[in-house]
Structure 1
Amino acid sequence: MSQQKSEAVVEETFSDDDIAEYLQRHADFFDRHSSLLMDLKVAHNPGGAAISLVERQITVLRQRSQDLERQLKELVTVARSNDLLVARLHRLSIRLMTTPGHAARIETLETCLREDFQADRAAVVLFPPLQDETIAREGFLKIVDRGDPGLKPFASFLKSARPRCGLIRGRQKTFLFAENAREISSAALVPLGAQAALGFLVIGSRDPDYFNPEQKTDFLARLGELVSVALL
């Protein structure tokens, strides 16, 4: 059989996948044929100069190491952030539990959101019936009937009754923050009570990316549970 025919048979018999599978099943192949490592060449970058397989492997391992280091840093950052949030939630719970009176707890909640949670603006919307001592607090607490027309922009949120983060729309901002509406770009909406039966809490930020839809809302759900109990 001629050399040309032999090469054709080899090409038909061994595909790229066959070779890859063989190398996977024989991980010691290059240990037994180490001289090939320096002879085999791969492109360093598309269109770039060829480098040895060993150099390419070192480059890949270095990149993987950098990726793992970046992921580890991200995990550490998230863990520290979570610890900070837990500490803030703990302080809020203590302050609310040690504050007598419904109206006083509303005031304490506003102070904590501003000082501990760095809220640029915050608001609580409560639905009747309420405790007798609960009175609207200008710029923070609104008491409205659940059927109030001003709540229409919040319809999907109230229907889902789940915490939500993201950009806040014009009519929503106006309803919540009135003359300060222009200051706020993003917000976290937190239902209070089962199916938002008590109302909802809003934490606003000037930063449009501070609250975004990709954020986890577990912490906000816990915050909502805590505030709901405090306001019952």
Structure 2
Amino acid sequence: MTSNVSTMNDDSIADYLRQHPEFFERHAELLSTVQLSSGHGGRAVSLQERQAEMLRDKIKGMEQRIMEMVRNSSDNASIAHKIHRWSCALAKVQDPRQLPHTVSEGIQREFEVPQVAVRVWDVAGPYQGGMYTMGVSDDAKSFATSLTMPFCGPNLGFEPTSWLSKPSEVQSLALLTLREGPNDSAAPAFGLLVLGSPDPLRFDATMGTEFLARIAEHASAALGRLRITPGN
């Protein structure tokens, strides 16, 4: 007669124990006599001790995830507050000619971005000739319109990088399109916001862009005033 032992394996044993939890009630002594390798140092421990270790590790992992969630929540709240403060500063600007400077200076101050540049095109007559309207090729305008979301990545020599004060020092950058319609990636671009940093990881291709998109929307709303002739 073939022994049943030969057909037993890890899965069948585990299956049996799941289906017969009373096994440990009938053999309670096993809980203290079975020796397992500890997950901390390799020493031999009882089954009960091993279970306690696994439970502690699980609780520790949950605590770490909770702390990470708290940190992320705090960081997000801080960024949201900075965007709000920056937006309030934009709303206070009375002379539209000061808006490009207020946009870029505010981003540098609030978000600690080393270099910021802004360019707008198709502006109304009174605002033509400003530095913020110069040096933009048709290719750059087409490129801005083609971006459906903020670009983050290494300095690849894009034309907009040359608008920054020290382009040779830029290792990573973010390009934010200014559009006529908020939340509409198909709307024509009328400008581009450039954020540059000497830190190659500051604007990484894998980073989230939600807050950058919010910045682009606020900047678009403010700088849109340059496209409207006063009195109209």
TM range (shorter): 0.7 to 0.9
Residue 40 of structure 1 is matched in structure 2 by: 34
Residue 68 of structure 1 is matched in structure 2 by: 62
SS at match of 2:164: helix
Q: Provide TM-score, normalisation by structure 2.
A: 0.79
Distance 1:185 1:95 in 2: 29
For structure 1, the 5+ residue unaligned runs are: none
Residue 155 of structure 2 is matched in structure 1 by: 168
SS at match of 1:198: strand
Gap change, CA 1:216 and 1:174, over 3 Å in 2: closer
Contact 2:119 2:136 in 1 (8 A): no
Distance 1:101 1:132 in 2: 15
Q: CA deviation at 1:199?
A: 2.3
Deviations, residues 126-166 of structure 1 (Å, cap 9, x unaligned): 2x31123335665xx35455524xx39x94x7524211222
Contact 1:102 1:133 in 2 (8 A): no
Q: CA deviation at 1:113?
A: 0.9
Distance 1:163 1:26 in 2: 57
Are positions 1:20 and 2:14 aligned together?
yes
Aligned residue identity for 2:95: G
Residue 122 of structure 1 is matched in structure 2 by: 116
Residue 207 of structure 1 is matched in structure 2 by: 199
The structure 2 residue matched to 1:113, chosen from 107, 127, 137, is 107
Distance 1:75 1:210 in 2: 21
Aligned residue identity for 2:94: P
Residue 218 of structure 2 is matched in structure 1 by: 226
Residue 133 of structure 1 is matched in structure 2 by: 126
Are positions 1:103 and 2:104 aligned together?
no
Are positions 1:181 and 2:177 aligned together?
no
SS at match of 1:116: helix
For structure 2, the 5+ residue unaligned runs are: 180-184, 225-232
Distance 2:159 2:90 in 1: 28
Deviations, residues 25-84 of structure 1 (Å, cap 9, x unaligned): 455654553321222233335994433222222222222222222211211111111111
Coordinate RMSD, CA, aligned: 2.9
Deviations, residues 95-142 of structure 1 (Å, cap 9, x unaligned): 11121132111121122111111110011132x31123335665xx35
The structure 1 residue matched to 2:189, chosen from 183, 197, 216, is 197
Gap change, CA 1:202 and 1:174, over 3 Å in 2: closer
Contact 1:120 1:184 in 2 (8 A): no
Distance 2:22 2:153 in 1: 52
The answer to which of 30-39 and 93-102 deviates more is: 30-39
Matched residues, number: 218
Distance 1:31 1:227 in 2: 69
Percent identity between the two aligned chains: 31
Contact 1:103 1:135 in 2 (8 A): no
Q: Which runs of 4+ in 1 moved over 6 A?
A: none
Residue 230 of structure 2 is matched in structure 1 by: none
